[in-house]
Amino acid sequence: MPKLSPTMEEGQLARWLKKEGDKVSMGEPLAEIDTDKATMEMQALSNGVLRKILINEGESAPLGQPIAIIGEPDEDISSLLKSFENKGAQAPAPAKAEEPEPAAAASESKPSAPDEQSRQPAPPSRDGGRQLISPIAARMAADAGISLSSLQGSGPGGRIVKRDIEAAMTEKPRAKAAPSLPLATLGQPAEKGAVYGPSAYRDEPVSEMRRTIAKRLVTSLGPVPHFFLTSEIDMERAADLRRSINELYPDAKLSINDVIIKVTAAALIAHPQVNASFQEKTIRHYEHADIGVAVATDNGLITPVVRSADLKSLVEIASEVRELAGRARARKLKPEEYTGASFSISNLGMFGIDEFTAVINPPEGAILAVGAMAPKAVVRDGAIVVRQTMRVTMSCDHRVIDGATGAQFLQTFKQILENPLYLFLSQ
């Protein structure tokens, strides 16, 4: 298992691009690996034949663990296989019924009452009532709306694998109409005296991205001394600017978030103490604003980086963010495209969230949480008027940023956003 990203500790085999017996050449794509942030191609390191695949699709392996053997067609690989087995690197045999398979998702139904068991058919079971499913098959089934209880797995031990889902998608298209619900589900009284056991469930292995997010959050909110600053901003002029630019350049498709990125970059250059990170023995100050933009994906949050945002126009930023976000959701980002930000922005305004606090992504010194822009009654010149407003909260690492320093940054950010012509006068 090769190291395909700077923070990768193990990889999950998403798809083999070759099968046993295929010829391979050095540098040729051999498999697709799910790392902590992206799906990367693993290349063959030598010429020869793919003699043996040691881990299956959906299984994970730590860095350096053998996952396949490439050799000559007639080469004796028995000693390699024996060595691999002796080191215990092979996937363990199915565990006892109380513990889930380490490399497969599991479903379990545990009805406690006999009458409930007769009314509720259990899914196909392996090893004490568990249904074994590879992670990629589980994701494909969920996306296609396929019931796993109707499938018989063709993988080892009856595990449902990718080819089973593909076959089910070919044989039976996804139903368009939702099945009718029992009366009890619709709020009608349940059968008198009915006894129900614990709900059935399915355990799906944690993806490499979600595992990394969990580790980084533990190393952030605990060790990093956070403090938070909130400000409310009048967004009328920023909204007018966005509208005007999109009228002049329809292809720009400028969003409010693009304007926020540009204004953040300008404020960071005005306050270099905030454009910094804690490095244990030093505080690193950055010359340009490399801004991480949080993007939600099916596997978790990733922050592609807009490099030197202070030097780019609004239209350039809008185009780059769209392109990076698209590749982030497709898990096609290169490691250097989602690491090394000097400051991050997380915007949940599109979900109707008014205000929230975000967790700093170490070693960055701060992150800006952006809420929804919405009309609000405010007092202007002694009169009540309706204005577009937005609340932002900055999470600061107190080892890098003092309260007054963070407040001055937010003050500048607010002034520019409320008077965005500053962006053009300062260039």
What's the Cα-to-Cα distance from 340 to each of 37, 284, 364, 409, rounded to whole Å? 14, 12, 9, 21
Pick left, alpha or beta for residue 21 (phi over 0 → left; psi -120 to 50 → alpha; otherwise beta).
left
Count other C-beta atoms under 10 Å from residue 96's C-beta: 7
| Residues in a beta bridge with 296 | 301
What 3-state class would DSSP assign to 237?
helix
Please, are residues 131 and 125 in contact by the beta-carbon 8 Å criterion?
Answer: yes
Distance CA 392, CA 395 (A): 10
Torsion from C-alpha of 66, 71, 73, 75, nearest 10 degrees: -90
Residue spans of beta strands (DSSP E) within 179-223: 201-203
Distance CA 20, CA 23 (A): 9
Is there a catalytic annotation at residue 271? no
Amino acid code (one letter) for 90? Q
- Cis, bond preceding 363 (omega within 30 deg of 0): yes
Closest among 400, 384, 391, 388 to 370, alpha carbons compared? 391
Count other C-beta atoms under 10 Å from residue 404's C-beta: 8
| Residues in a beta bridge with 105 | 133
Largest CA distance in the chain: 90
What's the Cα-to-Cα distance from 201 to each of 105, 181, 194, 198, 226, rounded to whole Å? 10, 19, 21, 9, 37
| Alpha helical stretches, state H, 282-402 | 314-329
- What is the helix, strand, coil percentage profile of the chain, to 5? 30, 25, 45
Residue 341 tokens read as 């930000």
Residue 210 tokens read as 């979600």
Please, are residues 159 and 152 in contact by the beta-carbon 8 Å criterion?
Answer: no
Among 226, 285, 288, 398, which one carries the catalytic annotation? 398
The residues assigned a catalytic role are: 398
